[in-house]
Amino acid sequence: MTDSADSVAPEQRPRHIAVIMDGNGRWARQRALPRHFGHRAGVKSVRAVVRRCGELEIDYLTVFAFSSENWSRPREEVVGLMKLFLDALQREVAELHENNVRLRFVGDLSRLSTRLQTAMHEAESLTAGNTGLQLQVAVGYGGRWDILNGCRELARAAAQGDLNADDITETQFAEAMSLRGAPDVDLMIRTGGERRVSNFLLWHMAYAELHFSETLWPDYDAIELDEAVIAFSRCDRRFGRVEPVAHEEVG
């Protein structure tokens, strides 16, 4: 039994957690169920992690819901995932709003149905003034896509004479990408036993602590999240320096 992450001092907790929610399909296969049962079961884990991050006063949580590469999956699975996104939005957004969670969608949303895009926009508008956990859901997202988009935005600005290409800073580059306004990722969690970042937040995870769990996503819960936060609190984060840097000085 792990200690509770409540005992971790606030300044030793990650400010920004990113999660690759892996293992839904394998969870379903182990039970001789269609893959979409695993995706539906995974919604429970999203709810548990969001709630726990709120309790721990984590500032930002970014979850990888659907990658740019996932469009190549069988059409039936993609259609089922899109329906699941819409159903979950309609079911969960009111509670998120009541709990002061701000919801934001990042990625290439242009391939989504008009109905789903509208629901996402309405959810973002409803929660825009909330000041609690900032929940960022990556849909149709790829880290390389995000970096390329940032390059294009800055190139257009330079071509129009709005900035000098030689003067572009890391801060300006970060503000040209999807997570503009959010700090770099402190802790990346991947479930399902795989040990790779899968083209997720490549720029933003430059100095993230990486935590890999063998647990399939539908079985992931607040207890395992606490374990990851406690492990993070014990890390000496040097950022290339000799001495560890206090968490509150980084961001």
Residues designated catalytic: 22, 70
Cβ(36)–Cβ(84) below 8 Å:
yes
The secondary element (H helix, E strand) that includes residue 141 is strand 134-141
For 107-145, b/e burial (b = at least 16 CB within 10 A) is: bbeeebeeebeebbeebeeebeebebbbbbbbbbbbbeb
CA 32 from centroid of its chain's CA atoms: 29
Q: What is the number of other CB atoms lying within 10 angstroms of the CB of residue 84? A: 17
Q: Return the residue matching tokens 């969690």.
A: 189
